[in-house]
Amino acid sequence: MMKVRPKPKDAVWTDEQWQAIDAKGNNILVAAAAGSGKTAVLVERIIRKIVDPDDEAEVDRLLIVTFTNAAAAEMRNRIGEAINKEIQKQPGSLHLRRQLSLLNRAHISTLHSFCMNVIRKYYYKVNIDPKFRILDDTEGELMREEIIEDIFEEEYGIEGNSSFYKLVDMYSGDRSDDALRSLVRRLYDFSRSHPSPEYWLDQMAARYDISDAERVEDLPWTPELLQDIQSQLRGAQSWIEKALQVTHEPGGPHPYGENFSEDLEKISSLLQADNWAELYDKFQTFTYGKLKTIRKTEGVLDELKEQAKSLRERAKKQTQELKEGLFSRPPEVFLKDVKTMAPSIRYLVKLVKEFSSRYQEAKREKAWLIFLILSISVLLF
């Protein structure tokens, strides 16, 4: 359970900031907008750790990482200034003076710099050449293009490679297989955000082994998919509500009010659906009515009229994409299509693994290293 002491009466911090500063006994994740005082809060938390008489921390034993060199430099300067202020309060504190001398050795850097230091120190544990260099974007892109080109050329050269051809037909257009090539690379990149990329890929493929599923609701990802659909529908509902508000403004397109009220009733009906089949049925009859005509004599401002129409168009686009993407086929056809995908998904995973193997080997041969922001959290934690 998170422990937070009462906020001092003279504290300048908000309650939420004080929680972030003083919380102990838990991992803590703080999300805050730009300009909300994140850096000041973090500095205060660090200083309180350093001066805590019950558990004095050494500044060079803390890991403080940022996204830019400028932010890291600012953090180091702020911590130094805060330590100096504490020394003025406690001029005889050898501990605080020691922290000031250790500050230059403290681990305050960008994520990339920290990762580089770790890898340079422990290169022998991860089988990396100690003389490695960072692969720049251009070199990396050329290498990836060459590898994917080689893999696809080999696949096309295998006689009777029906599994690959079926995958190409499923994920590519009439003119090129660029979409499938892009999918292989995107799946590779996404898999690298997991501690065990190959395990994640195998688990993804296993989720398509659904021969015993009788309804769309039996699919392993349907609960999350329904949540996402609900979220998108609420988003469309929000756009219409904003459009309705515009109709009530002075000079607003008040004749549209009836249209928008009808739109909200229809979206609300979708939100009340209990299952996939009911959603499908309701989407088949879901349409937006034609907006009422507004005459110039009604005193409607053009900018408000266009604003309301624009908001409604956003909602229409949101619901139309859902209808065309997920509810253009009856539930039984949708379920059958998903069941037939299992072999193709397994072959797709095979291609991603092959791409990964060759890419890693190519980088190892050239002593190249590349950082992916998504995978840094795995290295750190």
Question: What is the CA 353 to chain-centroid distance, rounded?
Answer: 23
Following DSSP, what letter does each residue of 83-142 receive, concatenated?
Answer: HHHHHHH-TT-HHHHHHHHHGGGSEEEEHHHHHHHHHHHSGGGTT--TT-EEPPHHHHHH
d(CA 192, CA 174): 31
Indicate the pLDDT class of residue 243, thresholds 50, 70 and 90. Answer: very high
d(CA 252, CA 25): 54
Whole-number mean pLDDT of the chain?
87
Please state the rounded mean pLDDT for residues 116-140: 75
Closest C-alpha to 342, from 215, 222, 204: 204
d(CA 178, CA 199): 26
Global pTM value: 0.60
- CB-based contacts of 300: which residues, under 8 Å, 6+ apart? 251, 252, 253, 254, 255, 294
Residue 326 near residue 229 (C-beta atoms within 8 A): yes
Higher pLDDT, 114 or 270: 270
Q: Flag whether pLDDT at 133 surpasses 80.
A: no
Quick one: pLDDT at residue 119? 80
Q: Flag whether pLDDT at 22 surpasses 70.
A: yes
Strands 63-66 and 107-110: parallel
Torsion angle (degrees, nearest 10) of CA 362, 365, 366, 369 = 70
Angle at 352 between CA 349 and CA 353, to 5 degrees: 85
Segments in the chain forming alpha helices (H): 15-22, 38-51, 69-89, 94-102, 111-121, 137-157, 162-171, 178-191, 197-206, 222-247, 257-271, 276-284, 302-326, 331-339, 342-366, 373-380
d(CA 32, CA 41): 11
- Give Rg (Cα) of the chain: 29
Overall CATH class of domain 15-121? alpha beta
Indicate the pLDDT class of residue 368, thresholds 50, 70 and 90. Answer: low
pLDDT digits (tens, 9 = 90+) for 63-122: 988 888 888 888 899 889 989 998 998 888 898 899 999 998 898 988 878 888 888 888
pLDDT digits (tens, 9 = 90+) for 25-68: 778 888 888 788 888 888 888 888 888 777 778 998 989 888 88
- Token match 């100096």: residue? 84
What whole-number percentage of the chain has pLDDT above 70? 93
pLDDT digits (tens, 9 = 90+) for 178-236: 999 999 999 999 998 898 999 999 999 998 888 888 899 998 889 999 999 999 999 99
Q: Show me where the domains of the chain are located.
A: 15-121, 134-208+341-380, 216-338
Number of other residues whose CB lies within 10 A of the CB of residue 58: 14
Q: Flag whether pLDDT at 367 surpasses 70.
A: no
Overall CATH class of domain 134-208+341-380? mainly alpha
Q: Flag whether pLDDT at 138 surpasses 70.
A: yes
d(CA 231, CA 360): 38
pLDDT digits (tens, 9 = 90+) for 273-313: 989 999 999 999 999 999 999 988 888 999 999 999 999 99
